[in-house]
């Protein structure tokens, strides 16, 4: 569950990236976050990840107000969310399996747990056969699936995806979106920031639209043609 209460974010440069944002994404929900470049979309994602602090207002994640969260507790907050980026962010000198296992090392999982969990998520994203390959031997879609597997491997309660299909062709983009939808159907909250109008239109999910830092629309349905 993610809740924004009167959240404002003004950067030191004076840019007002987010103005009085109020919304609530329930547990198990699937929500798109859409808006043009520079609309404040990325800032919203950064605020959820606590990469940026809100200038005012409060952000509640899983029932906890993160506004006054101590810096050394941030890693534990992030373990409750899996993150996927446009540029995949895989480690080039590690295999698919190692890239996924890496996320479990970090949370100090037992070797036994790692050996059981990694093949499971790899089969979930359909990459069981490619576990020994390196990222540069994979297609863009496959790389994004590895990133998704890495985001999922620690069983987070939510997945935050920042333009996950931005670097992919339309067919592959659909594969990733369908995968995100499957993950959502298994009970994980999914938040996807995107530009992909046709996908948003067809998936008929909740859409939060942000423009110039203001949330101008928040309802179920397609991409608003005005934007």
Beta bridge pairs of residue 215: 210
Using rule CB under 8 A, residue 76 touches another protein: yes
Complex with another protein: residue 43 or 209, whichever CB lies closer: 43
Using rule CB under 8 A, residue 111 touches another protein: yes
Tell me the window of 23-31, 74-82, 131-139, 195-203 that interacts with another protein (CB under 8 A).
Answer: 74-82
**CA–CA gap between residue 81 and residue 146 (Å, rounded):** 16
**CA–CA gap between residue 153 and residue 104 (Å, rounded):** 7
Max CA distance (Å), the chain: 52
Using rule CB under 8 A, residue 11 touches another protein: no
Using rule CB under 8 A, residue 66 touches another protein: no
With CB under 8 A as the contact rule, the residue among 7, 103, 191, 192 that binds another protein is 103
Q: Which residues contact 104 (CB under 8 A, 6 or more apart)?
A: 113, 114, 117, 118, 153, 154
Tell me the window of 100-108, 125-133, 134-142, 216-224 that interacts with another protein (CB under 8 A).
Answer: 100-108
- Judged by CB under 8 A, the chain residues 35 through 54 that form the site for another protein are 49, 51
Give how far Cα 8 sits from Cα of 11, 54, 214, 215, Å.
10, 6, 10, 12
3-state secondary structure at position 225: coil
* Phi-psi label, residue 150: left if phi above 0, alpha if psi -120 to 50, beta otherwise: alpha
Give the DSSP letter of residue 158: E
Complex with another protein: residue 37 or 72, whichever CB lies closer: 72
With CB under 8 A as the contact rule, the residue among 105, 123, 129, 170 that binds another protein is 105
With CB under 8 A as the contact rule, the residue among 110, 187, 225, 226 that binds another protein is 110
Pair of tokens at residue 191: 């938040």
Using rule CB under 8 A, residue 108 touches another protein: yes
Q: Which residues contact 80 (CB under 8 A, 6 or more apart)?
A: 61, 62, 156, 157, 158
Pair of tokens at residue 58: 């409060």
Pair of tokens at residue 33: 């976050």
Complex with another protein: residue 111 or 221, whichever CB lies closer: 111
3-state secondary structure at position 62: coil
Tell me the window of 27-35, 104-112, 125-133, 171-179 that interacts with another protein (CB under 8 A).
Answer: 104-112
Tell me the window of 29-37, 102-110, 123-131, 181-189 that interacts with another protein (CB under 8 A).
Answer: 102-110
Using rule CB under 8 A, residue 136 touches another protein: no
Using rule CB under 8 A, residue 79 touches another protein: yes
Using rule CB under 8 A, residue 72 touches another protein: yes
Binding residues vs another protein (CB under 8 A): 49, 51, 72, 75-79, 83, 89, 91, 102-103, 105-108, 110-111, 150, 154
């Amino acid at each position: 569950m993610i809740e924004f209460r009167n959240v404002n974010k003004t950067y030191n440069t004076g840019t007002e990236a987010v103005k009085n944002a109020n919304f609530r994404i329930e547990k198990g929900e699937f929500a798109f976050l859409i808006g043009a470049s520079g609309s404040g979309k990325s800032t919203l994602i950064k605020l959820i990840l606590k990469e940026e602090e809100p200038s005012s207002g409060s952000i509640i994640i899983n029932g906890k107000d993160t506004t006054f969260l101590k810096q050394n507790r941030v890693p534990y907050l992030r373990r409750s969310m899996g993150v996927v980026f446009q540029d995949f962010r895989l480690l080039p000198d590690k295999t698919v399996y190692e890239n996924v296992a890496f996320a479990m090392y970090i949370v100090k999982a037992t070797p036994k747990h790692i050996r059981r969990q990694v093949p499971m998520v790899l089969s979930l994203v359909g990459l069981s056969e490619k576990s020994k390959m390196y990222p540069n031997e994979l297609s863009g879609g496959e790389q994004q699936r590895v990133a998704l597997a890495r985001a999922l491997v620690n069983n987070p309660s939510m997945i935050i995806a920042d333009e996950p299909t931005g670097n992919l062709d339309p067919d592959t983009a659909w594969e990733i979106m369908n995968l995100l939808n499957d993950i959502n159907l298994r009970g994980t909250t999914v938040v996807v920031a995107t530009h992909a109008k046709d996908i948003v239109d067809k998936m008929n999910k909740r859409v939060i639209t942000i423009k110039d830092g203001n949330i101008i629309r928040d309802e179920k349905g397609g991409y608003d043609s005005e934007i």
